[in-house]
Amino acid sequence: MNRPDHVHVERVRYADTDQMGIVYHARYFEWFEAARTELMRSMGIAYRQLEEEGVFMPVVEAHCRYRLPVKYDECIRIKTTIGEVTRAKVRLDYKICGENDDLARGEGYTVHCFVGKDGKPRRAPEDVLVFFQNNVE
């Protein structure tokens, strides 16, 4: 079965741009964050609530390839898919597209582990794990 991509839309702010007249590269990771939060919400997991229950998912790896410049005031769509899931880690994949086309402006991924309130690694809660596994691309 093909899992549908989860799509999150962002409008480029002036704050996102740099003097090259394009979006500063580090900003893409904030979009990735917003996109995965919405992906999780769409699956029934509010990340905020996870933290309230003592489960944190810090980023342990982040990557982005920049293909085409993204400009001020553009609407971009971030397509997020779940790439890999284990008890210890989750990898999410992102593709940044234009408002009306699927041409990749950029592509990236983030890897997350699970830690407790004490900052120590822990296994993913069973229900969270199942949620992720059921939605792996």
Note the residues at the interface with a second copy (CB under 8 A): 11, 13-15, 17-22, 24-27, 29-30, 33-34, 37, 46-48, 56, 58-66, 69, 72-73, 110, 119
Of 72 and 131, CB closest to a second copy: 72
Min separation Cβ 1 and a second copy, Å: 30
Min separation Cβ 103 and a second copy, Å: 16
102 in catalytic set? no
Of 30 and 137, CB closest to a second copy: 30
Rg of the chain's alpha carbons, rounded to an integer?
15
Of 97 and 108, CB closest to a second copy: 108
Catalytic residue list: 18
